[in-house]
Amino acid sequence: MTGLERLSAAEMAHAIRAGETTPSAVMKAHLDRIAAREAEVGAFIHLDADRAMSRAREADRQPPKGLLHGVPFGIKDIIDTDDMPTGWGSDIFAGRQPDRNAACVRAFLDAGAIPVGKTVTTEFAYFRPGKTANPHNPAHTPGGSSSGSAAAVADYMVPLAFGSQTAASLIRPAAYCGVCAFKPTTGGFDLSGVMALSPSLDTLGLLARTPQDLALARSILTGKPQPVSPDFSDTKPRIALMRGPHWRDGSMEMRDVCGRAMRALADQGAETGEIGSPPLFAELTDAQKIVMGYEAANARRDVYTSHRDAISIQFAQLIHEGRATTEGRYRAALAIRDRARAMVDLMFADYDGVLVPSAPGEAPEGLGATGDPLFSRMWNLLQLPCVALPFGVGPRDLPVGVQLLGRLHEDAGLLAVAEWVHAVFNSAR
C-alpha cells in the first residue's frame, strides 16, 4: 500500500486492523514526509524519529489495543509529555521536562496512537510566532497559536494533532492551512497537563483532514462511543448564515467563500437561511479581550514578575493590560457574555448549525505575525463548539474556509452536520 501518509486516521487504523499495512509502515511514510518537508515547513519543535519508529515496531508485534492503534499524532508544545520537553513556545522554558503526560496524551496512548513529536506553538499560545511556515506557501503565516499542528496535518506529516484555543488558535490556523479543526464546548475535554492562559476561555481541541477523524478523536478523549451519524439522505441539515458584527472587516474573498458555501449547501438540499446579529454581539469581541487579559494576568503572573525582560512585547502588553483591568470591568465583560449566550439559544431554534467566517481571508504574507483572531473571539467567549472546514482557495491560491457553530454541549450533533457539509464542499470543488 502506497501513499499511507495521505490516508485519514480512521483509514490508517482500519488498514492496520485489517492486516493491510503495519504501524511501522505507516510511521515510515510519515517520517519520510517529515524528512522531505520539515526544513521548509518547520512544524516541529521536538522530533524523535527513532523513538517514534521504535514504538511503531513494538506496535507491529501487538494486537490492536485501541481505536488508533499505530496511528501517528502530533502534540502542541503547551501539552505535557513525560518523554519530550514542553517549552510553551518560550525560550524561558525551553527544555522543561514534565514528569507525566497530559490527560489527552494518556487517552491517545491508551488508544494505541503513537506520538511523533511536539509541534510549534506561539509563545505561551499567544501572539509571538514560532518558526512554522504555511505549507501551501512558506512566505505566508500558518496562523496561530496551533501553528505547527495545523501545518503538520496539512502537509501530511501526521493525520491528527492536538491544538488549543483561547481566542482563535484552532479555527484560524485550520483556515489558513486548509484543514479541519474542532473546538468543543469549553470544558468538553480534560485540560489536565495543558498550560493555562485564560481558564474560562482555554479549550483543548483537534486538527485533522476530515470531520470523521475529529469525531473519532473526540470519542477517545471523552470515553464515549461514537454516535451513529444521522441519515441526511431524506432530511437535510438546517444551516443559517450569520454575517456578524465584523462582516465588513474581512476580505472580499471571505465574504465570497461564505456565499459560495451557502449556495453549495442549498444546491444539495439543505434548508438554508440567514439570521441577524443581535446588537449586543458587537460588544463580544472587546469583552473577550478583557476576560482574556484579566485571566492571563493572573494565570501567568509568575512569568511577568520573574522574567519580564525575557518575554515578548506582545505578551508583556497582554499581561500589563490585564493587570490594569479592574475586577468590576472583568465581571461586566462576563455579564455581557452571559446575556449574549442566552440569545444564542434563539439562534438555533430553527437550525442545526450556523455558518460564520473562520478568518479574515487567506493567510497573510510574512511570518512575523499569525493573522487577526477577529472572527473567533466572540464564539470562544460564548464557549460554543466550532468546526473549521476548508472550502477551496482564494485569489492567491491559498486555502479559505468557514466555521460551523453548534449548540452548547451538542458537540456530537455539530460534528455530524460538519461531516455532511464537508462532503458537500468536496463535491462542489
What residues act catalytically? 76, 145, 169
Does residue 268 sit in helix, strand or coil?
coil
Contacts for 89 with CB less than 8 Å, ≥ 6 apart: 45, 77, 78, 120, 121, 122, 123, 124, 125, 128, 130, 145
- Please list the helix, strand and coil fractions of the chain in percent, rounded to the nearest 5, in that order: 45, 15, 40
Amino acid at 106: R
Contacts for 136 with CB less than 8 Å, ≥ 6 apart: 154, 177, 178, 363, 397, 398, 399
d(CA 298, CA 143): 26
d(CA 90, CA 15): 39
Does residue 13 sit in helix, strand or coil?
helix
- Is beta strand 180-183 parallel, antiparallel or unpaired with respect to 386-393? antiparallel
Contacts for 131 with CB less than 8 Å, ≥ 6 apart: 42, 45, 120, 367
d(CA 404, CA 235): 19
What are all long-range contacts of 102-106, with beta carbons under 8 Å and residues at least 24 apart? 102/192, 102/193, 102/194, 103/190, 103/191, 103/192, 103/193, 104/79, 104/162, 104/189, 104/190, 104/193, 104/194, 104/204, 104/221, 105/75, 105/79, 105/80, 105/81, 105/162, 105/193
Q: What is the 3-state secondary structure (H, E, C) of 84-118?
A: CCCCCCCCCCCCCCCCCCCHHHHHHHHCCCEEEEE
Sign of CA dihedral 421, 422, 428, 429: positive
Answer yes or no: are the C-beta atoms of 288 and 330 closer than 8 Å.
Answer: no
What's the full length of the chain, in residues?
A: 429
**Beta-ladder partners of 388:** 181, 403
